[in-house]
């Protein structure tokens, strides 16, 4: 009996590993053709987008951006001044008065010369899928340039395309970070979760009211 139970548990474990691997491969392979770098994006002369979308990350206790987030916002600023899109959507966790990723990102971008009128703060971007769903359904964007690191781009582009937008992922930097292994491992279950959300047409808990860009 124990031997049979062991075989059953092993079979379930193998099936789960195969499923997770398969879904991750689907996400990565489908999104990869739409991912590029800042330099290659400029050389390709891609048509302008409705919006540049910056995905949130940690803000430090003093209100400054973490290195990962600063790289994202710097790349978005670069794209804005190249004329890639007329607006920048800063999306992240803005639920707490003492921790507001989008407004910290906005303040940094304004200090670098981006007009306040060109920046939209989306404080409901608690998750990557939430951000893309809201950009498509709340803000009404049909085409976006997404700015984040390479490890995160596969999921971001997959989500954006999955909710009906034309999307290009612009890698904000090509370096690695002290916790890179953690970020890479975290993406595996996150891609599965987002793929399920895309395939089921899930609606975020925070859909919000329509906003005209």
Structure tokens at 165: 């937008």
Query: Which residues partner with 54 through β-bridges?
Result: 90, 147
Q: What are phi and psi of 199, to 5 degrees?
A: -70, -25
Which architecture, in CATH terms, is 2-200?
3-Layer(aba) Sandwich (3.40)
Distances, alpha carbon 59 to alpha carbons 94, 100, 128, 187, in Å: 11, 8, 17, 20
Distances (CA, A) of 74 to 44, 71, 86, 105, 179: 20, 5, 16, 10, 21
Q: Would you give per-residue pLDDT tens digits along the chain (213 residues)?
A: 656 555 555 556 555 676 667 788 889 998 999 999 887 766 555 568 899 999 988 899 888 999 999 999 999 999 999 999 999 999 988 777 677 889 999 999 999 999 999 999 988 888 899 999 999 998 899 999 999 999 999 999 999 999 999 999 999 877 777 777 888 888 889 999 999 999 999 988 776 655 555
Q: Are 27 and 191 in contact (CB under 8 A)?
A: yes
Confidence (pLDDT) at 21: 74
Q: How is residue 99 annotated by DSSP? A: B
Whole-model pTM: value is 0.87
* Secondary element (H or E) of residue 29: helix 2-31
List the chain domain ranges: 2-200
> Are 106 and 69 within 8 A, CB to CB?
no
pLDDT in the model for residue 47? 61
């Amino acid at each position: 009996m124990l031997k049979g139970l062991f075989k059953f548990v092993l079979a379930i474990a193998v099936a789960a590993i195969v499923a997770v691997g398969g879904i991750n491969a689907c996400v990565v392979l489908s999104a990869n053709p739409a991912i590029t770098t800042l330099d290659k994006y400029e050389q390709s002369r891609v048509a302008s987008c409705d919006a540049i979308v910056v995905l949130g990350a940690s803000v430090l206790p003093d209100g400054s951006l973490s290195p990962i987030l600063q790289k994202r916002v710097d790349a978005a600023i670069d794209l804005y001044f190249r004329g890639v899109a007329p607006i920048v959507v800063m999306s992240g966790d803005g639920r707490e008065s003492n921790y507001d990723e989008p407004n910290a990102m906005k303040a940094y971008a304004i200090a670098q010369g981006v007009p306040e009128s060109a920046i939209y703060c989306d404080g409901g971007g608690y998750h990557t899928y939430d951000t893309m769903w809201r950009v498509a359904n709340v803000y009404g964007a049909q085409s976006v340039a997404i700015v984040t690191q390479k490890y995160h781009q596969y999921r971001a582009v997959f989500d954006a395309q999955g909710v009906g937008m034309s999307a290009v992922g612009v890698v904000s930097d090509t370096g690695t970070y002290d916790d890179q292994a953690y970020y890479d491992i975290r993406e595996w279950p996150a891609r599965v979760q987002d793929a399920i959300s895309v395939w089921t047409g899930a609606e975020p808990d925070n859909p919000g009211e329509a906003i005209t860009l």
